Each structure stands twice: as C-alpha cells, then as structure tokens.
Amino acid sequence: MLSAFQSFRKFSTAQSIMSNLKIAIIGQSQFGEEVYKLLRRDGHEIVGVFTIPDVKGRPDPLASAAESDGVNVFKFPKWRVKGQPIKDVVDQYASVGADLNVMPFCSQFIPMDVIDHPKHGSIIYHPSLLPRHRGASAINWTLMCGDEKGGFSIFWADDGLDTGPVLLQKECKVEPDDTVDSLYNRFLYPEGIKAMGEAVRLIAEGKAPRIPQTEEGATYDKIWKKKDLAEIKWDQTAQTIHNFIRGNDKIPGAWTVLDGQKVTLFGSSMFKGSSFPSGTEVEVPGGSKPAIVHKGGLLFFGSDGSALNVKTLQLEDGKMIPAHKYGQAEEAQEKLELTEEELKMADTIKAVWIGILSSTDISNETDFFKMGAGSMDVARLVEEVKEKCNIELKNEDVYMATTLEAFVQLTARKGRGLDEEEFTYDAIEMEANKRTIRFPHQLFINNVFVDAKDNVTFDTINPTDESVICKVSKASVEDTDLAVAAAKAAFEEGEWGKMNARDRGKLMFKLADLMEEHKEELATIESIDSGAVYTLAIKTHVGMSIDTFRYFAGWCDKIQGSTIPINHARPNRNLTYTRKEPVGVCAIVTPWNYPLMMLAWKMAACLAAGNTVVLKPAQVTPLTALKFAELVVRAGFPPGVINILPGSGSVAGQRMADHPDVRKLGFTGSTPIGKQIMKSCAESNLKKVSLELGGKSPLIIFADCDLSVAVRQSLGAVFFNKGENCIAAGRLFVEDTIHDKFVEKVIEEIKKMKIGDPLDRSTAHGPQNHRAHLEKLLEYCELGVKEGATLVYGGKQVDGPGLFMHPTVLTNVQDHMFVAQEESFGPIMVISKFSSSDINGMLKSANGTEFGLASGVFTNDISKAMYVSDKLEAGTVFVNTYNKTDVAAPFGGFKQSGFGKDLGQEALNEYLKTKTVTIEYPEF
C-alpha cells in the first residue's frame, strides 16, 4: 500500500511539473508585480522580467520584486526605433527561452518578433470588455461613455490595437458614482490579477480558448492623458458632464474656469434632492446657470436643468480644497503640537512613505505625488496608516495633504476627531419636548437621502392631535430595486464584505454610542410619531435598542464553526469543519408599535452576522428609522450596508419578498401578512424567512400568588405601551376565589393612570398609534359585549382631540367568543375565571388559540409554576413577572405566532448559513 501511494505521489508531482511554464513578464506597475507573484506561487518559472528604466532612481514595483527574488530583470527604454525592432533588445529577450509572454499593463510597443517568439505566444490584460474601448484609456472611456457595465479582457496579442482573440473576460456593474480609481481598485485590479493567473493555468492545461473579436460594437478610443483634453463642456446634460468628470478622476482631472483660474473637479455625483440647496452663486463660463457653493459641496447644472454635485476641487496652484469651502477666505489652521504618541505615529508614517516611495530621502517638505506616487500608492498609504496607526483615512485625504508634514498633521487631527466633515441632508426641524429635533424625511439608499423616483410622498401623523408632522418619501418598486442593488454591491464588492469581524463590531459599538448620544431626540421623535410615552420611549424603545446593538456588536468576532470527526477514507485521512457565513442581502419589515426597537432587534443580529440590509419601517411610523439612518452615516458605515425605505407593505414590502437578490426576510407583524410574505418568499427564490406574528398570550393568576404584585404586573402585561405590545397578555385566567378582588384592584389602579400627552413626564397612557387602529379597538369592545362579555370599565375613546382610548376591562369571557380567540393589540384586558379543580381545563383554554408567542403565570407554588410552564404552548413563559425581555434571551413564537428567534445567540442563526468543508489528505 505504501509503495502504491508513493507512486501516486510521484505521478501527481510529475503532472504538476509538466504543466508549469517558462514565462517572460513584460510590463510594469504594482499590477504587474502582483501578477508576477501569483505566477510564481502557482509554480511557474519566471525566466525574465522586462520592464522600464527607473524613474528618478525609483525602480518599478515589478522590477523591485523580481530583483529581490534574483530573477533576471531587463530595463529597456524602448524596443524599437522608427518602427524597427532593436536587434540587441530582441536578442536579450530571446535568450531567456520563454514558453509564454505575459503582459500585464504593458505600456511599450513590443515588436511582433517578440510577441510571436514563444511557442504559446503572448497574452495581454486590457481593462475593458473588448472590442469596446480599444486603446490605452479604456477605463476613462468606460466612465465617460456612461457604460452600465465594465470589466476586463485577457486576449492573445496580434499585430493590431487590442484586436487579438479573447481568452477570457469578466464583467462588473459600473456604479453611478464610480471613478477610475474606484472601478480599478474594486474590480479591475483584484479580479484582473486572479484572472491573469487563471488564463495562464488554462494555457498550461491546453484549455485556453481563442475567441475572435467581432468588429460589431468596436470602438477605438484615443489616449486620454493630456490635461487640455479634459476641459468640461457645459452645454450638455448633467449626466453627461458627471460621466466626463468621473471618467477623468483622478487623472488627468476634468477642469473648468471659475473666477479666472483653472479649477479641477473631483468627487462628482448626480444631485438627487427634490429642491436645490441655497448658497453662494459662482459664474460658470458656458454654463446654463451659476454653480452653487453649499454645505454639501459645489453644485453645477447641465443644459437639461438637472444638477451634479462636486466634493473636491484642485486650484491652479495645485492646492486641494473641499468644494464647500470654495471662495472662502482660507483659515490658517493652527498647527498641532504633537503628543509623544503622535510623534511615534509620525515616525511610523515616515517609514511608510519611505517604503512606498522607495527612497530614504524623505523630509517634512517631501511631496508624495512629486516623488512619483500614483493612485495605487494612495490606496496602499491609506491601508498602511489604518493598520499601523489605527486611524482611518479616505483616499481624498491624501490629495488634501500632499507633503509629509501636512499628512502627519492631517492624520493627527483625524486621530483626535477634529475636522470631521459635516453630514448634510434635507432635514425637517421642529420644536418638541422643549428641544429642537432634526430628522430626515427621504428614502435612505447607499448612504444618501433621496426622494422617491416617482416623487410620491405620504403624511406621517402625530397621534396626540392628528396633526401632520411632515411629508415622507414613499418607496416604489424601482426604489426598492435600487436599495437591494446597493446592499448587494456592499456585500459582494464593497468594504463591508471584506471587513474584519472585529472592525464590524467597532462600527456597531460606535453606532450604539451615537444612539445613546441622541437618545432624547430619538425618544422625542418616537413619541410624536408613534404615540409612545416619552419616559417609556427613553427606557425601552430607545434604551433597549442601544443595548441590543451593543450586545450583538460583541458577537461579531465570536461567530465560529466547529470541527467534526468523520470516518476517514483510508488510506487517506479527512478533516471536516463548518463555517458560519452571512446569507447576503437581507430584507427586514418592522411594525409600528416599537419602530426603533424592532429595527434593532432584527438589524443588529443581521449586521453582526456580516449581512447587508434593506429595511422597510411601518408606513405610519417611519421617522426614528430615518433618524437612525443619519446616525449610520455618522458612525462610518460604508455605503449600501444599511438602506431604509419608508412606504407601503403592498409595494416596497412585497417587492422585497419577491426580489431574487434578497436571501433572507425578517418580518414582525400580523399573521395574515406573514403568510403572504412566506408564500412570496417561497415562490421567488425560496429565501430564508423568520416571522414574529400575532399573539394571544395567556396570563394565569392563581389564588396563592402575591395579589398586589399580580395586579401590578397584570396592568403592565396588558396596558404597557398602551396595549400595542406583541406579547401583551391577551387573556387573563384568574382563579375564581380571587377573581372579584382582582378585578376591583385592577379598576382602582386604572383610575389612577394619567391619560394624555406622551411628552408629559407624568403621563402613563398615550394615544393609540393611528385612527384606523383606534376604530378597530372600539369595534373589538362592541363585539365582545355583543357576544356576552361584561364591560366593567372603558371601551370608548377619550373625549377631546387625539387618538386616546380609555383602558378597558372585559370580564366573563368564554372560549367561543371572538375576544377570547383574537388579539386586540390595544389596552383591553380580557378576563376569564377558572376553578382550581380544573387546571387542565383552564390550560386547554389557554392553549386553545392558533397563537403561541408568550404566556405568564403567577403562583407561589413552584410545582404548580413548573407544571403550567411545561404545558403552556408559547415561545416565552414568564413566572411571577411579565414583559421581562432581555437582549441575551431568545424571543419568538410557536404555531401561527411564527418561527425564528430575535435576540440572544439564537438570533444569529437566522442570518447565517452553515457550510461544511471536507478535506482529504494523505497519511504519511
């Protein structure tokens, strides 16, 4: 057996050696360096690297890597003169004996003598989907032409301009605000490197295709490097101008003339607001109207009246400034006196510059870009500062501080939290609760507040007086698709999908801290939008939301799989392990009774698991979700991770259930809607579902309980949050010997409850959430009396303005009655009596509904408590307490109250999938 195995190993090794190639790499740049390293790791022999001469004494990254490995490096200034190959150069190339030329981003003209010399020929990487955008500026043209998809081609070189047969292509979506840098860094660079390795493997295995290029749709685009080509023509649509600016960002940079000087524009995006911001006007030669300097940047107008916004400007002297500061007298920024820790950081930064610039001649006056740094060097600098100094910068920051001293100062300011850029949006401002509150009223997609595509809005109502708080954008199917696309891009291609779990946790902790910082404002918004009593909103609606985010933030880096012993496949051995992975884009639909808390219960677990989210809050209570979205941006969450779509369930909610890119939907609401959602999720793409639906929670009061405690807890069990509580005690079973006394004490306590303005600190009972619900509650009481229940208190609306309902008590309720079977979701106490001689009969009645969310029992007899807890068919059982939920305890129902859990470790499973990996390896 051993000799057979050794023979097998020899055969495998021989096959591997036979498939390896002798490769010449012709090109330059960090891309070329990474391709070189990948091919070496794959076992190929790099017999020569042909690159460009050193620039200002600084070798190309490809040359540096090869020289350090002892690989032959040739630095030719040119390969031919007057179109003819230079014999000495060609001879030196031929001497290495390559089987294949690999040309990643080769900028030189290579003679056909070299292209055709190896037995496998030559392959070239090109950053477009050939035959479109042939030429050296393909990425620029992809953006300037407004292409909706981009990508790259690896093709076999011939004697034409990017015309050879295609070996492989990969494509990606071009995002609306992509720049040359973002498209390159997000897709063309990392995926291109991998694809070059894949192409060489296909050649080595004899499987590489040669697909002839068609001339249909071919474009031959001129080189786009000269600054004079990049002047903006303003007699075009805003979208065309935006495409032109982003297609030139960062090189060569699109420019225009403002106030007599050339100004280069960076960071363009289409303006999506419903009204243009006010600010200082700036004349634009050739423009249809003046530009506007405003808090969010510099707004320019196209010939069609639409606008685009620019974030960063470069003045004629090379200085970069935020666009919103254009025209302002420059403030002399006070130079920071660095602390001892910051001085160490400065030394670290200098060492990073030395490594990137390949020069030890670095002083405070050294300019990063004048030393030859490019966009990939910017990305590397940002990442190294993050890793070594624990300070997060943006690429734009590097362009704002180009000398070492300025960069150190900027990094120190960032580390101290100074100069934070203000996040601006079209805010609603109003006075309430003796404070000024500010909140958004638009959809939140990809970290931007935007109007609905069809500009439809709805009124959100203050239930205290039925006044209109504001108009809110109403999401359409198109808006929902945009939000899902943003979430998908953030998950699959964005920073979130690549982020370390611990860094995810840091963002969630920061978000929780911001919620804490704004808790009074959040609670005030919750009160005016949902009718929640302010003191309850502070403690529960907002307080538990903060606790939930902190709890799940701590779980981010503790989600782990397991190793599993399985039977070995002798003579080999096996290792089997599991991975817990995020499911992808998740949709969440929340109810109106706890707008912020239900958001937190579901979203925190979803984010901790690594997913991205599209959330639709209840249409009648959207405002705290939108305020939360503002805090998401301030916390630093990447675009697309969290998206909030106020609107109707029948449109936005239904589209989320139907959308093929949504992989999980979490819903809290009514059972009929939950059934519809489950059906849609099954028919669309069999997406994962968790449902927290209706309840009719029984609360059992035994005669041996502490009656005063039972009365107090029962009042909370029914009237907490004015009865708009999913686990509210829907039916009380009171032992007959204490029934009358219990009812008497309940009525006595109800009369003490103050009903009124939820912002009044002494108020105990606020308004019902919306008029339709109040009317349904009044009908519920009428039906109960009609069926034979006794109305002993309440049952009517409070006189005066607002949606206030008297706390209500119905007694003598029998099993057959509607009020015994169905949830009121309001301040209605439904009481039945039972005999101690028929506990099992009472339990049959308690379990005799299709719901099983929560339940409770009050007794001082531990045996009785344990027996009843065992028999109750509910996801939660409270003993001698009620409403005692905690972020660490799983929460969810049985039967038609739904399935799946919120809160606790179990909630993470709703947003994770388990992958099993089995590896076979030889036994030595």
Q: Do the annotations mark residue 118 as ligand-binding?
A: no
Q: Do the annotations mark residue 445 as ligand-binding?
A: no
* Calpha distance 481→493 (Å, rounded): 17
| Known catalytic membership, residue 692 | yes
| Known catalytic membership, residue 126 | yes
Tell me phi and psi for residue 241, to 5 degrees: -65, -45
Do strands 149-156 and 166-173 pair parallel, antiparallel, or not at all (unpaired)? antiparallel
Within 30-159, strands assigned E span: 45-51, 73-75, 80-81, 84-85, 100-103, 122-126, 149-156
Q: Which of 44, 120, 126, 242 is catalytic?
A: 126
Tell me phi and psi for residue 73, to 5 degrees: -120, 130
Q: Please, are residues 175 and 270 in contact by the beta-carbon 8 Å criterion?
A: no
Amino acid at 66: A
| Known catalytic membership, residue 172 | no
Q: Please, are residues 875 and 852 in contact by the beta-carbon 8 Å criterion?
A: yes
DSSP bridge partners of 151: 171
Q: Do the annotations mark residue 713 as ligand-binding?
A: no
Tokens, residue 588? 């969440």
Q: Do the annotations mark residue 517 as ligand-binding?
A: no
Task: Report the run of H or E that residue 449 belongs to, with start and end.
Answer: strand 448-450
Q: Do the annotations mark residue 892 as ligand-binding?
A: no
Q: Is the dihedral of CA 469, 473, 477, 483 positive or negative?
A: negative
Q: Do the annotations mark residue 546 as ligand-binding?
A: no
Tell me phi and psi for residue 524, to 5 degrees: -65, -45
**Nearest CA to 760 among 535, 426, 444?**
535
Q: Do the annotations mark residue 148 as ligand-binding?
A: no
The 10 Å Cβ neighbour count of residue 355 is 12
HSE on the CB side for 538, CA within 13 Å? Answer: 11
Q: Which of 34, 692, 724, 735 is catalytic?
A: 692
HSE on the CB side for 491, CA within 13 Å? Answer: 25
Task: Report the run of H or E that residue 246 belongs to, with start and end.
Answer: helix 238-247
Q: Do the annotations mark residue 269 as ligand-binding?
A: no
Q: Do the annotations mark residue 654 as ligand-binding?
A: yes
Q: Do the annotations mark residue 558 as ligand-binding?
A: no
Q: Which of 556, 681, 705, 726 is catalytic?
A: 726
Tokens, residue 696? 């009719």
Q: Please, are residues 168 and 253 in contact by the beta-carbon 8 Å criterion?
A: no
* Calpha distance 66→23 (Å, rounded): 13
Question: Which DSSP category does 720 fall into?
Answer: G
Residue keyed to tokens 């690159």: 51
Q: Do the annotations mark residue 110 as ligand-binding?
A: yes
SS3 for 409-436 is HHHHHHHCCCCCCCCCCCCEEEEECCEE
Q: Where does 260-400 have alpha helices with state H?
A: 340-357, 375-389, 395-400
CA distances from 553 to 513, 615, 630, 809 (A): 12, 19, 19, 42
346-355 contact pairs (CB < 8 A, 24+): 346/408, 346/412, 348/388, 348/389, 349/385, 349/389, 349/404, 349/407, 349/408, 349/411, 350/404, 350/408, 352/381, 352/384, 352/385, 352/388, 353/381, 353/404, 355/384
Q: Is 199 exposed, middle or buried (0-12, 13-18, 19+ CB in 10 A)?
A: buried
Tokens, residue 679? 């059906």
880-885 contact pairs (CB < 8 A, 24+): 880/705, 880/706, 880/709, 880/713, 881/713, 881/856, 882/699, 882/713, 882/714, 882/716, 882/717, 882/729, 882/856, 883/716, 883/717, 883/720, 883/725, 883/727, 885/544, 885/727
Q: Do the annotations mark residue 841 as ligand-binding?
A: no
Tokens, residue 897? 């109250």
Q: Do the annotations mark residue 15 as ligand-binding?
A: no
Q: Do the annotations mark residue 776 as ligand-binding?
A: yes
Coil, strand or helix at 60: coil
Q: Do the annotations mark residue 670 as ligand-binding?
A: yes
For the packed helices 595-608 and 519-530, what is the interaxial angle rounded to 10 degrees? 130
Q: Please, are residues 849 and 829 in contact by the beta-carbon 8 Å criterion?
A: no
Q: Do the annotations mark residue 162 as ligand-binding?
A: yes
* Calpha distance 347→353 (Å, rounded): 10
Q: Do the annotations mark residue 797 as ligand-binding?
A: no
Q: Do the annotations mark residue 618 as ligand-binding?
A: yes
The torsion region of residue 87 among left (phi > 0), alpha (psi -120 to 50) and beta comes to alpha
Q: Do the annotations mark residue 387 as ligand-binding?
A: no
Tell me phi and psi for residue 159, to 5 degrees: -90, 10
Q: Do the annotations mark residue 108 as ligand-binding?
A: yes
Binding-site residue numbers for NADP(+) are: 616-619, 649-654, 669-670, 776, 823-825
Active site residue ranges: 126, 692, 726
Binding-site residue numbers are: 108-110, 162, 616-619, 649-654, 669-670, 776, 823-825
Binding-site residue numbers for (6R)-10-formyltetrahydrofolate are: 108-110, 162
